[in-house]
Chains A and B, each alone.
Chain A
Amino acid sequence: MLLEVRNLRIRYGKVEAIRGVSLDVEEGTLVTLIGANGAGKSTILKSLSGLVPPFAGEIRFQGQMLAGWKPARIVKAGMAQVPEGARVFAKLTVAENLQAGAYLRKDKEKVALDYQRVLRHFPILKERLNQKAGTMSGGERQMLAFGRALMNGPKLLLLDEPSLGLSPLLVHEIFKIIEAIKGEGVTILLVEQNARKALEVADKAYVFETGRIVFEGPAHELMDSEEVKKAYLGG
């Protein structure tokens, strides 16, 4: 198992935002975590990346406990995240954004390979390498954020609401990209509120509601489940 989360609890002050979440991500699969907005899904990802300390519970990545790890160490271990809203570095050029993704990497040849791979995936970035990231459209930024995360050289890619705020056409494209990345052997944990789209591409899914997991199972089973359909897929 690439990632194992056991009984994760996270508190903000006195409020317990995450109340005992357990999930598994197997190598080479695409696992999705769906549920309504504001339910705390992003908090879990923040905690996995070491930005928010858990209150209790265990996170294991490649068999190692991540307790007390700094974000940089987690990135180095092979877990990358595309934060919600892309959050590219607007005043840096596209090329610099991608370099920032490879900040910790010393293996120059592999970085160069990854760079070529990213530009192959996102030809639009190649045209804009010297342009400031802030001047690009929302879809382009999302692609840059993906590219930046891939430059981390991740084994596990955490995606936080990649389709949020994008036009249906772009959403379609983003999901195609997600599938392509998965096709290259990168394991993905996808947090999405667009449940239908997420279930289409996922192998396994968890349904999350106000602090806990309410359903879990293979993605196609959840898609067929009457309950899930009614509550999350709009009937």
Chain B
Amino acid sequence: MEITELIQITVNAISIGAIYALLALGLTLLFGIMDILFFAHGAMYMLGAYAAYYLCTKLGLNYFVALPIGVILIGLIGVVMEKGLFRPIRNDHVAIIFLAIGLNWFLESTGFVVFGLRPKPVASVFTGQAHFFGATISWERAVVVLIGLLAVLALYFFLMKTRWGLGMRAFAEDPLTAELQGISNDTVCSLGFLIGCGLAALAGLLVAPIFILTPTMGSHAVLISLLVIGLGGLGSIPGALISAFIIGIIESFGTSYLGADITWGMIFIFVIIFLIIRPTGIMGVVRE
């Protein structure tokens, strides 16, 4: 194996990992804070990608104008869902999972009806490639990596350093006691959905120029993110980050030498075996 080839595959791994990390981020947040496995995350991601299509391709908006519009719009859809659908059954964990499942496939099939079956194109914003040490990465993927990392850092900063972040972490541990400090559970949950769905939308908007847009892209993304956060340790943001890159590396090397479908089989088997040995994931945080 040549050294440039190795570098190239590593670069690919980082770019894949960054997308997965971004995908898993919102899901991890909702799980870590609210203990909700939010299947509809995939649908929000799909909506984000289609937002890019409608805002950029159809309305002709600049991509960087469309980005915040899409994120905020879909974040707000998340808030509406939280208030209207999730709040009434907040204490019933089984019902919440089913609700999230129902929503994901409701939105997916709505996507088929509204967006149609034909894959939609979103024009690339960045063309050309960057070169270093003999490896190439397309600029648009480089931008995804960059924004993905920024999003992770921003979320981490938000959770650890701001008052609202503190409130969310307090809520995650003990909602009732948090309420007694004046940390309104309702507000925390709305905020969680705003950020979680916003992050899903951000991922969708970012990959829109790279991936092919179909309404089913969301369900596929949820499966991947579930593997990522399962491997990382449910609810742990650093864990999700590490495992996203591990899976990125396996996928990158695997597809180069073995082929894509075999690689996915391997990733799955790897995750299962890992979880059998260490059921709490890499970071070992599992809530009872």
Contact = CB atoms under 8 A, between A and B. Distances in A.
Interface string A145-158: 00010001000000
Contacts of B167: 100, 103
Given A100-B166, A103-B167, A89 B177 contact: yes
B176 A103 contact: no
B181 A152 contact: yes
A90 B278 CA distance: 23
A87 interface: yes
A72 interface: yes
Interface of B is mostly: helix
B178 interface: yes
- Interface magnitude class on chain A: 20 to 34
Nearest to B177: A87
B179 A100 contact: no
A81 B177 CA distance: 9
B134 interface: no
Interface string A24-59: 000000000000000000000000010100000000
Given A91-B169, A103-B166, A103-B167, A83 B184 contact: no
B32 to A, nearest CB: 11
A75 B170 CA distance: 16
Nearest to B186: A70
Interface string B54-71: 000000000000000000
A101 B176 contact: no
B125 to A, nearest CB: 40
A103 B182 contact: yes
B190 to A, nearest CB: 13
Given A83-B176, A103-B163, A89 B170 contact: yes
Contact of B182 (A90, A92, A99, A152): A152
Contact of B180 (A49, A90, A91, A92): A49
A5 to B, nearest CB: 18
A161 to B, nearest CB: 14
Contacts of B177: 83, 87, 89
12 contacts: A51-B179, A72-B183, A75-B181, A76-B182, A83-B180, A91-B169, A91-B173, A92-B169, A92-B173, A100-B170, A103-B163, A152-B182
Given A83-B180, A92-B173, A96-B170, 16 more contacts: A49-B180, A71-B182, A72-B179, A72-B182, A83-B176, A83-B177, A87-B174, A89-B173, A92-B166, A92-B169, A96-B169, A99-B163, A100-B183, A103-B163, A104-B181, A148-B181
